[in-house]
Amino acid sequence: MGKSSLLNQYIKKDFSFEYKATIGADFLTKEVVVEDSVVQLQLWDTAGTERFHSLGRSFYRNAECCILVFDLTEQKSFESIETYRNEFLDMLNPSEPETFPFVLLGNKSDLEIERKVQESEINKYCQSKLNMPYFETSAKDNINVEAAFEKVSELAFERNRNLADRELYGIIPNRVVLEGTNQQVKHKKCCPL
């Protein structure tokens, strides 16, 4: 699919033809400017293989946005997107899962002649998910990589700001009132990107 290659292209402006599977997870950071604020992105690259899925809860904690990546030359990778999306939401357990921000990336756009996933199919999926932002990318040729991560940064920044505003104004959906007391306990959300 190219998750690691996309991150390396975005952060390090580097591409390697060597394939090295992600074991568990890795993360990279980058400072970006969003709405005149300097923000440090912490981008987690999680393993796509089944044996590492149990680690997801600890990796997804405090995530503000999720990037779903599929390979434009492999139909099965696109068909797996909904499963990954649902697993992420199950592990993160956000208070409003229907509005949690996702960005979809179809990688390997440089291999148009080998393309298996049709644009109409992708558009239909994105529309069914509240117009999920979508970018066709190429980690190899650095096509749309910067634009895709700019969108991720904007969505994460907006979500973080909205959550901070809600707490500031006392609209905190993750509270539990303990019976027999007037005490309220604020629960932290579990799970990252």
Tokens representing residue 53 in the block: 């899925």
Tokens representing residue 133 in the block: 């932002």
Diameter of the chain by CA atoms?
Answer: 67
| All structural domains of the chain | 3-186 (3.40.50.300)
Taking 50 as the threshold, does the pLDDT of residue 190 lie above it?
no
This prediction's pTM = 0.79
Lowest mean pLDDT among 47-51, 127-131, 179-183: 179-183
pLDDT of res. 65: 92
pLDDT, one tens digit per residue, over 43-66 is 877 665 444 445 556 667 788 999
Cβ distance 153 to 34 under 8 Å?
yes
pLDDT, one tens digit per residue, over 113-127 is 999 999 999 999 999
pLDDT, one tens digit per residue, over 103-116 is 999 999 999 999 99
**Residue corresponding to tokens 């890795």:** 26
Who's near 29: CB < 8 A, 6+ residues apart?
11, 40, 41, 42, 43
- How far, in Å, CA of 44 to CA of 30, rounded? 12
